Amino acid sequence: MFSYIDHLECTQCGKTYPHDELSKISPCCSKVLFARYNLDQLKADKTREDWTDRPSNMWRFAELMPVVNPENILTLGEGGTPLLEAKQLGSKLGMSKLLIKEEGLNPTGTFKARGISAAVSKAYELGVTGFTMPSAGNAAGAAAAYGARAGLPVKVFMPQDAPSANKKESFMSGSELNLVDGLISDAGRIAVTVAEEQNLFDLSTLKEPYRAEGKKTMGLEIAMQLGWKMPDTIIYPTGGGTGIIGMYKGFQELLELGWVSGTPPKFIAVQASGCQPIVKAFNEGKDNAEPWPNATTIADGLRVPGPFADYLILKAIRETGGTALAVEDSDMINAMYELATEEGIIACPEGAATLVGLKELLESGFISRDETVVLLNTGSGYKYLDLIKESN
Ligand SMILES: Cc1ncc(COP(=O)(O)O)c(C=O)c1O
Ligand SMILES: [Zn+2]
């Protein structure tokens, strides 16, 4: 058997739905649908070692991925990114093990490739003939690329002031680029309307079940790269939260399979001070986030004022004993320089934000220096060179 997918499940009430029909949000509660797998059968049939000898990309985890027929996989080689030890930075901070998951090496330069490859492949398998994609920028670039790979049209909707690289990559891959006078939330509303009018499939994150499945593979890879152990802490730059939600789901599946032991890592959500709905909701002990007014930050991926899956992000943080904090834009830029000078990593501002968050939490004592900490660099800094000077 290739995929062990069994059904979809409403994350609010647990009602189940078939996985072989096109699905968006749950009809029962209008909440996120999760893919569920036959883990007992998988455990009986295979071991985690079955994954190790395969090509190093995210489809090595095919059993825990939604695509049923391997011929429907649309891949550009996403996943299989390195988990780099940051020795110099770690020792500067007095830490025993600081690791960086370098997602900048993905196709289209960000971790968005994982989620989009999974979602576009599954939609292709179910007969979709075109897509809409609202995005802060990077997801649009990825959707355009995977749409091109599928030979299917993509209409992307992104804020007018999204990074130039995102506009160019979308245009270059042949998608229809629509610039919106507003934020990703405004782009999202337009994309849904256009999808309904023109019979296209909307790829908004967590409003279809499979982008999270692609992002989940970051967690599966991290565990595999640590010799089937989970780190103590993962610091993640949180916009829509798909990465945190996906990785937490992935670790829970590994635990249920008995292929890792222990407790999942503490998830730490880093947001920008100019857009921190999750931080506010976390600090106030709420289960849902209020939309953040007048969201502004240079980290476009963090400019998500009202994440649809707020309740799942907050659940992942709380259940794992993590926390949420906001950092300043100027500190993110300084951290971009620091990651490059100390470790040779050209990080995106979102990824650099995790280093700022780490320093604050070391100082406050929330993270201790002997923990194994993974920073998620979600994308390549090569898309953001406008933020960087040529010389002093
Ligand atoms: C580079 C980068 N990092 C982080 C994020 C936030 O990702 P998530 O939606 O998984 O929270 C985005 C989203 O646009 C992004 O482009
Ligand atoms: Zn429900």
d(CA 331, CA 274): 13
Q: Do residues 102 and 377 touch, judged by C-beta distance below 8 A?
A: yes
Q: Do residues 60 and 118 touch, judged by C-beta distance below 8 A?
A: no
Residue nearest to atom 9 of ligand 1 (CA): 240
Question: Which pLDDT score is estimated for 166?
Answer: 96
The burial class, CB within 10 Å (0-12 / 13-18 / 19+), for 18 is exposed
- Written as six digits, the tokens of 183 are 């934020």
d(CA 362, CA 130): 46
* Pocket of ligand 1 contains residue 242 by CB under 6 Å: yes
Fold annotation for 83-110+211-387: Rossmann fold (3.40.50)
Q: Do residues 127 and 155 touch, judged by C-beta distance below 8 A?
A: no
Q: From ligand 2's centre to the CA of 42, what distance in Å?
A: 26
* Pocket of ligand 1 contains residue 240 by CB under 6 Å: yes
Q: Which of 110, 247, 248, 387 to probe ligand 1 with, by most ligand atoms within 8 A of CB?
A: 110
Cα dist from 368 to 77, 87, 232, whole Å: 36, 17, 10
* Pocket of ligand 1 contains residue 11 by CB under 6 Å: no
Angle at 295 between CA 366 and CA 12, to 5 degrees: 65
* Pocket of ligand 1 contains residue 158 by CB under 6 Å: no
Q: From ligand 2's centre to the CA of 24, what distance in Å?
A: 13
Within 8 A by CB and 6+ apart from 31, the residues are 10, 11, 12, 25, 311
- The ligand that comes nearest to the alpha carbon of residue 136 is 1
Domain boundaries, the chain: 83-110+211-387
What's the number of CA atoms in the CB half-sphere (13 Å) around residue 42? Answer: 25
Q: From ligand 1's centre to the CA of 211, what distance in Å?
A: 12
Residue nearest to atom 15 of ligand 1 (CA): 301
Cα dist from 207 to 52, 120, 185, 202, 204, whole Å: 32, 13, 13, 8, 5
**Three-state SS sequence of the chain:** CCCCEEEEEECCCCCEECCCCCCCCCCCCCCCEEEEECHHHHHHHCCCHHHHCCCCCHHHHHHHCCCCCHHHCCCCCCCCCCEEECHHHHHHCCCCEEEEEEHHHCHHHECHHHHHHHHHHHHHHCCCCCEEEECCCHHHHHHHHHHHHHCCCEEEEEECCCCHHHHHHHHHCCCEEEEECCCHHHHHHHHHHHHHHHCCEECCCCCCCCHHHHHHHHHHHHHHHCCCCCCCEEEEECCCCHHHHHHHHHHHHHHHHCCCCCCCCEEEEEEECCECHHHHHHHCCCCCCCCCCCCCCCCHHHCCCCCCCHHHHHHHHHHCCCEEEEECHHHHHHHHHHHHHHHCCCECHHHHHHHHHHHHHHHHCCCCCCCEEEEEECEEHHHHHHHCCCCC
- The ligand that comes nearest to the alpha carbon of residue 140 is 1
Question: Which pLDDT score is estimated for 1?
Answer: 66
* Pocket of ligand 1 contains residue 205 by CB under 6 Å: yes
* Pocket of ligand 1 contains residue 136 by CB under 6 Å: yes
CA 256 to chain centre: 22
Q: From ligand 2's centre to the CA of 319, what distance in Å?
A: 21
Q: Which atom of ligand 1 is nearest to the CA of 115?
A: 10
- Written as six digits, the tokens of 120 are 């576009």
* Pocket of ligand 1 contains residue 214 by CB under 6 Å: no
- The ligand that comes nearest to the alpha carbon of residue 12 is 2
Question: Which pLDDT score is estimated for 392?
Answer: 86
| Mean pLDDT per 10-residue segment, the chain (392 residues) | 94 98 97 98 97 96 98 98 98 98 98 98 97 94 98 96 95 96 92 96 96 98 98 98 98 98 97 98 98 96 96 98 98 98 98 98 98 98 95 88
Other C-beta atoms closer than 10 Å to the C-beta of 261 total 10
* Pocket of ligand 1 contains residue 109 by CB under 6 Å: no
Residue nearest to atom 7 of ligand 1 (CA): 239
Q: From ligand 2's centre to the CA of 212, what distance in Å?
A: 18
* Pocket of ligand 1 contains residue 276 by CB under 6 Å: no
Q: Do residues 351 and 332 touch, judged by C-beta distance below 8 A?
A: no
CA 261 to chain centre: 24
* Pocket of ligand 1 contains residue 139 by CB under 6 Å: yes
* Pocket of ligand 1 contains residue 381 by CB under 6 Å: no
Q: Do residues 258 and 43 touch, judged by C-beta distance below 8 A?
A: yes
* Pocket of ligand 1 contains residue 221 by CB under 6 Å: no
CA 387 to chain centre: 23
Q: Which atom of ligand 1 is nearest to the CA of 313?
A: 11
Cα dist from 363 to 119, 301, 328, whole Å: 40, 26, 16
* Pocket of ligand 1 contains residue 264 by CB under 6 Å: no
